[in-house]
Structure 1
Amino acid sequence: MAERMLKFVGTPQAMPDKRPAAERRRDFDEIYQSYAQQKAAEQASRCSQCGVPFCQIHCPLHNNIPDWLKLTAEGRLDEAYELSSATNNFPEICGRICPQDRLCEGNCVIEKGFESVTIGSVEKYITDTAWQRGWVKPIQPRRERTECVGIVGAGPAGLAAAEQLRRKGYQVAIYDRYDRVGGLLIYGIPNFKLEKEIVQRREKLLRDSKVTFHLNCEVGRDVKLEELRARHGAVLIATGVYKARDIAAPGVGLAGIAPALDYLTASNRQGLGDTVPDFESGLLNAAGKDVVVIGGGDTAMDCVRTAVRQGAKSVKCLYRRDRANMPGSQREVKHAEEEGVEFVWLAAPQAFLGKDKVSHVRTVRIHLGMPDASGRQTPQEIPNSHVNIEADLVLMALGFDPEDLPAAMGAPDLGVTGWNTLKIDWKSMMTSLDGVFAAGDIVRGASLVVWAVRDGRDAAERIHTYLAGKALAAQRIAAE
């Protein structure tokens, strides 16, 4: 191991080549090139193989990172892929969109002084290579089971659960109200972070694995939850959260003010070749406009970087805290700054000005006061510090809340928490309805894709325990 690993002292960190900002501003292609095999092995060899791998501990999936880094360094990529995919259903997706600077790489032992191992880029390289070489195969269970599981939602939690259940031989049907598989992976994340072909080949893999999809099918409108319960041995609700948070301020109803997800969905649909009237009319198109994005999370970063690529006249990101306290990835902020985005830190919107259409955002400067119960410093307005910022298009990236699922699904007995997320028994992951489980953002609130994958995998195990228990009970009754 000493020959192959522990090379962080003499080998510097090297990310894959990044396209120049001036070039990448003109298209929606991914900004990083792929590693060459030799470079991937070199960067993997920087791993210190520490006894307590903080990268693995701080990964929601607890991926076996040091092990597959070692295998990559030794050129054993087929084994590295097998190990990587053993704990993660979508390693090539997580390698692209996970905020590694906040998770695995941010907790790398060698980060202080030597810069972290480029875990995400190596993870992406391993699985992209596996696809190229034909190592990724459709699922062929050892034996087929008769029980069928219905999954509501074709996002990362639902897809991860479907794959795990198919591996155990269950019949799986996925219902989604949209016309494509992937949820936010397709409509919420821009191509420069995750090209759609990456998601679509996962969809094809699941279809080839005999997972059935019912698209343009909204539970509550096209089929009742009770029908799904009667049709399937168990049901998993993995709808995610899509209700945009709003802001109470004068002028918020003016034309030219839109939720971030509406804007990103229009851009992604247009890129997929759909006819998008709101994009073609200019309503959700940033071309030639002064754009202001309100928020500091990853969705805000997706919006500002999309606006740059659409040819916006100017792009500003307004955030009420400072850079050190923003929830989004610092790496994304750096990319956005390189591409010409201006960040207005410690500023909050007070009103939106304009007659028939927004023309300015009235802002106030912010001072960070004492920490609140969560430990974060409380934003406090500075008197007489108002500034008006020109804006033709304002995008609200303030986060997402759950929809009222009991009402939407016609299931009043479906229990919810005070935050309107679905209430589950965390040991069984079952809701208040027998045989109905829930996972992902609809349970934990808006979170990361990697957490949705983790929840989907956990839910699949709990559903297996539930159905296996029912089958055993039926056998006992039959034997008596």
Structure 2
Amino acid sequence: MAENAMLKFVSTPRDMPEKRDATVRREDFHEIYAEYADQKAKEQASRCSQCGVPYCQTHCPLHNNIPDWLKLTAEGRLREAYELSQETNAFPEICGRICPQDRLCEGNCVIEQSGHGTVTIGSVEKYITDTAWENGWVQPIAPRAERSESVGIIGAGPGGLAAADRLRRAGVQVTIYDRYDRAGGLLTYGIPGFKLEKDVVMRRNEQLEKGGVEFVLNCNVGEDITFDELQAKHDAILIATGVYKSRELDAPGVGAEGIVRAIDYLTASNRKSFGDEVPEFDAGLLDAEDKRVVVIGGGDTAMDCVRTAIRQGAESVKCLYRRDKANMPGSQREVQNAEEEGVEFVWLSAPKGFTGDEVEGVMVQKMRLGAPDATGRQVPELIEGSDYVEGADLVIKALGFEPEDLPKLWGVDGLEVTRWGTIKADYKTHVTNIPGVYAAGDIVRGASLVVWAIRDGREAADAILDQFSGAAQVAAE
């Protein structure tokens, strides 16, 4: 009887891919984890317990068939593993790199609960698809038959790209409109290369383009083309713009030179990695070199900023967060990486104001955690008389993102939004109150994870296909 390739978690310990030494990796923007070797990927995949109710799959927004492709990897059937992972996820190698697996699939792994250490699901997922690219298994999109229907997608981020992938595979004509000069949204300009190297995103953009998706870049809806023109041109519209409006601080001195938005800072850094000219970076405004850097915020965007500043050669990098480490919204794994690289976290601290016309310091007030609010999180309370000034030459505000006022921006008065400014759309079909207009991703759910945007984009694409099928059936009758 052949030996079972699985259930090796008792005899085989959890082992992540090798992480580059912090003193080395802080000098460049390359990804910090090495690739698994084939034998190591098989070994780690074999630790899966193949449990009857796979919580890893349940807690993945895409409900990836994780136990099945882990088993195929353990058995050396990598091409089948790739094909299975691609069925539920347009971009598994991207999710394998940037998903907070510690909060999703890996955080709910049954063997983790039993004390054996979770299966390294994200690293295996990344390995499977990287191997597929290397071996030419990733095939160009080739629909069995072309369809006459046309869809216009506003936004080339993960939600829009995932929808485009699904629609093109069904033969629909797809055009993506985006304000930037490269597709990818935050995958391209928001997430640093040490988490997601840009060639990984660019090859997916190229795959879509070769598969027949038309990209109209440097295009601002409402300026370069009206929403009415898009509706007249396409049979359906999908709004997948994401949320780009930065939350602001209301504090004395906040307008001082040297206080910048996280999105501007990260975009400038990523543009430099492409070799672009970035005047604000070259002039020093968005470059952390030799500066005392203070980042305000506790999410993953703040982690991206502090780790970027380290790589740019900052004199010091401090992160102010008003709660403690246990209550931080960002990935604990990212906090650990940042600490290893030399970032200092100043917990239970909030900015009260700023000194200098060109910023010289942050007036910091210390906090303590009080009673829980309605969500169960403890509310930060001010400790009187604990203020002090933290010296700073560059302050980066990483306070989260809000939706832009799209109805006003695009001149679409009839488009319904929620009280938070997000677009109101059906949670299953993603259709808005305007027939034929759909919305997906962060512009509906608020700032969230890439994996949720991918799920929303795929669901919206399926709903659009259902709309086309229904219309065709009515026409036939």
Q: TM-score scaled to structure 2, two decimals?
A: 0.99
Question: What letter corresponds to residue 9 of structure 2 in structure 1?
Answer: F
CA distance in 1, matches of 2:335, 2:388: 23
Indicate which of 323, 342, 345 corresponds to 2:344. Answer: 342
Q: How many residues align?
A: 475
Whether the aligned pair in 2 keeps the contact of 1:6 and 1:48 (CA below 8 Å) is: yes
CA distance in 2, matches of 1:223, 1:264: 28
CA distance in 1, matches of 2:386, 2:138: 57
**Partner of 1:372 in structure 2?**
373
Per-residue deviation, residues 324-347 of structure 1 (Å, max 9, x unmatched): 111110000000000000001111
Deviation at 1:2, TM superposition (A): 6.2
CA distance in 1, matches of 2:391, 2:57: 45
Deviation at 1:137, TM superposition (A): 0.7
CA distance in 2, matches of 1:139, 1:271: 29
Whether the aligned pair in 1 keeps the contact of 2:428 and 2:459 (CA below 8 Å) is: no
Matched, 1:103 2:119: no
Whether the aligned pair in 1 keeps the contact of 2:152 and 2:174 (CA below 8 Å) is: yes
CA distance in 2, matches of 1:474, 1:54: 44
Question: What letter corresponds to residue 199 of structure 1 in structure 2?
Answer: V
Whether the aligned pair in 2 keeps the contact of 1:234 and 1:467 (CA below 8 Å) is: no
Classify 1:247/1:2 alpha carbon distance in 2 versus 1 (closer, same or farther; 3 Å). farther
**Partner of 2:405 in structure 1?**
404
**Partner of 1:6 in structure 2?**
7
Q: TM-score scaled to structure 1, two decimals?
A: 0.98
Per-residue deviation, residues 339-369 of structure 1 (Å, max 9, x unmatched): 0000011111111111x21111111111111
Matched, 1:175 2:168: no
Whether the aligned pair in 2 keeps the contact of 1:321 and 1:345 (CA below 8 Å) is: yes
What's the C-alpha RMSD, in Å, of the aligned pairs?
0.9
**Partner of 1:218 in structure 2?**
220
Indicate which of 304, 314, 334 corresponds to 2:306. Answer: 304
2:62 partner SS:
coil
CA distance in 1, matches of 2:65, 2:170: 22
Question: What letter corresponds to residue 374 of structure 1 in structure 2?
Answer: T
CA distance in 2, matches of 1:100, 1:87: 17
Deviation at 1:123, TM superposition (A): 0.2
CA distance in 2, matches of 1:70, 1:475: 46
CA distance in 1, matches of 2:83, 2:429: 28
Matched, 1:262 2:260: no
**Partner of 1:121 in structure 2?**
123
Matched, 1:233 2:235: yes
**Partner of 1:186 in structure 2?**
188
1:311 partner SS:
coil
CA distance in 1, matches of 2:413, 2:438: 16
Q: Which runs of 4+ in 1 moved over 2 A?
A: 425-428
Per-residue deviation, residues 388-417 of structure 1 (Å, max 9, x unmatched): 111100000000000000011111111110
CA distance in 2, matches of 1:288, 1:99: 31
CA distance in 2, matches of 1:360, 1:111: 44
CA distance in 1, matches of 2:361, 2:419: 36
CA distance in 2, matches of 1:153, 1:409: 14
**Partner of 1:317 in structure 2?**
319
**Partner of 1:440 in structure 2?**
441
CA distance in 2, matches of 1:58, 1:2: 30
CA distance in 1, matches of 2:344, 2:370: 24
What are the ranges of 5 or more consecutive residues in structure 2 without an aligned counterpart? none
**Partner of 1:19 in structure 2?**
20
CA distance in 1, matches of 2:443, 2:371: 32
**Partner of 2:203 in structure 1?**
201
2:293 partner SS:
strand
Deviation at 1:425, TM superposition (A): 2.3
Per-residue deviation, residues 230-255 of structure 1 (Å, max 9, x unmatched): 11110000000000000111111111
CA distance in 2, matches of 1:101, 1:250: 38
What are the ranges of 5 or more consecutive residues in structure 1 without an aligned counterpart? none
CA distance in 2, matches of 1:61, 1:429: 16
Whether the aligned pair in 1 keeps the contact of 2:158 and 2:453 (CA below 8 Å) is: yes
Per-residue deviation, residues 298-343 of structure 1 (Å, max 9, x unmatched): 0000000000000000000100011111111000000000000000
Deviation at 1:426, TM superposition (A): 2.4
Question: What letter corresponds to residue 410 of structure 1 in structure 2?
Answer: G
